């Protein structure tokens, strides 16, 4: 399940690609399938990095890619790279966790080449407001979300950092429902039956790539999306 649309992101042959806050590597895996660029997947969580590395190694062993990737531990506020090191950067569902998001954005721009593309995704204000209201554990825990973004707020922050926006999209409406259910039944109750059943539906949607379900979700994205995705180019 990708949040960033790679057709809009426009990976090109020979690009250097950075996945900041890669998590378990979903975007890095798909970029790696293109087998036309060099990838760096970065995160603070060691377990997530192990999972990312495992899948990338598996792809190499199956001949899907040729191993032009690296997985490393790093902080989004202090990226361990020289200025203008990357052609393309994804920062997905990260900034809402960062106390100093302006510094985080500045770091992303610093390591992006002039003319390079940065895609940033964060949860929508509405989905966050509902979840914050239903269960304080959604945000009140170490590593949780420290702010809710209104679209204009994030757009302005990106523009202040010399980024031109060329597309905005909304994604993952079905996941809004999942997290609302989780909050209704309390996040601490991980075995709650209804959220668990709904999660199985989400898994089936991803596995089967159901055209009907995907079409319905695209319609629902107009009303209650989980994430806003902003595609920008460094001026």
Confidence band of 66 (pLDDT split at 50, 70, 90)? confident
Average pLDDT over residues 184-203: 94
Domain assignment of residue 206, yes or no:
no
pLDDT value for 140: 83
pLDDT value for 52: 98
Domain assignment of residue 89, yes or no:
yes
pLDDT surpassing 90 at residue 106: yes
Total number of domains constituting the chain: 1
Query: Average pLDDT, whole number, for the chain?
Result: 95
pLDDT surpassing 80 at residue 84: yes
Q: Which tens digits make up the pLDDT trace of 27-65? A: 999 999 998 899 999 999 999 999 999 999 999 999 988
The rounded distance, in Å, linking the Cα atoms of 90 and 120 is 6
Confidence band of 142 (pLDDT split at 50, 70, 90)? confident
pLDDT surpassing 90 at residue 144: no
pLDDT value for 143: 81
Among 57-61, 105-109, 207-211, name the one with the lowest average pLDDT: 207-211
What CATH number is associated with residue 32?
3.40.50.150
Domain assignment of residue 79, yes or no:
yes
Domain assignment of residue 220, yes or no:
no
pLDDT surpassing 90 at residue 206: no
pTM: 0.94
Domain assignment of residue 132, yes or no:
no
Structural domain including 150 reads: 6-124+142-172+225-234
Domain assignment of residue 184, yes or no:
no
Q: Which tens digits make up the pLDDT trace of 162-173? A: 999 999 999 999
CB 31 within 8 A of CB 7: no
Render the burial of 181-202: b for 16+ CB within 10 Å, e for the rest.
Answer: bbbebebeeeebeebeebeeeb
Domain assignment of residue 107, yes or no:
yes
Domain assignment of residue 180, yes or no:
no
Task: Give the whole-number percent of the chain exceeding pLDDT 70.
Answer: 100
pLDDT surpassing 90 at residue 127: yes
Q: Which tens digits make up the pLDDT trace of 4-26? A: 999 999 999 999 999 999 999 99
In the sheet where 227-234 sits, what is the strand order? 69-73, 38-43, 16-20, 86-92, 112-123, 227-234, 163-171
Structure tokens at 201: 């539906």
pLDDT surpassing 90 at residue 154: yes
């Amino acid at each position: 399940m990708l949040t960033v649309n790679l057709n809009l992101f426009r990976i090109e042959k020979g690009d250097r690609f950075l996945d900041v806050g890669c998590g378990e590597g979903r975007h890095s895996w798909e970029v790696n399938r293109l087998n036309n660029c060099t990838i760096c997947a970065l995160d603070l969580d060691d377990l997530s990095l192990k999972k990312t590395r495992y899948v990338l190694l598996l792809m190499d062993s199956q001949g899907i890619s040729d191993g032009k990737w690296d997985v490393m531990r790093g902080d989004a506020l202090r990226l361990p790279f020289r200025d203008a090191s990357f052609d393309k950067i994804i920062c997905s569902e990260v900034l809402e966790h960062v106390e100093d998001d302006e510094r985080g954005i500045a770091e992303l721009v610093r390591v992006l080449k002039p003319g390079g593309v940065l895609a940033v995704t964060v949860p929508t204000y509405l989905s966050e407001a509902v979840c914050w209201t239903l269960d304080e554990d959604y945000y009140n825990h170490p590593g949780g979300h420290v702010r809710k973004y209104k679209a204009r707020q994030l757009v302005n922050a990106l523009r202040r950092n010399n980024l031109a926006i060329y597309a905005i999209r909304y994604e993952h409406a079905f996941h809004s429902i999942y997290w609302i259910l989780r909050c209704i039944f309390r996040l601490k109750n991980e075995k709650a039956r209804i959220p668990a059943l709904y999660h199985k539906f989400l898994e089936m949607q991803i596995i089967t790539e159901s055209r009907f379900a995907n079409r319905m979700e695209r319609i629902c994205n107009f009303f209650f999306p989980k994430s806003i995705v902003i595609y920008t180019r460094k001026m």
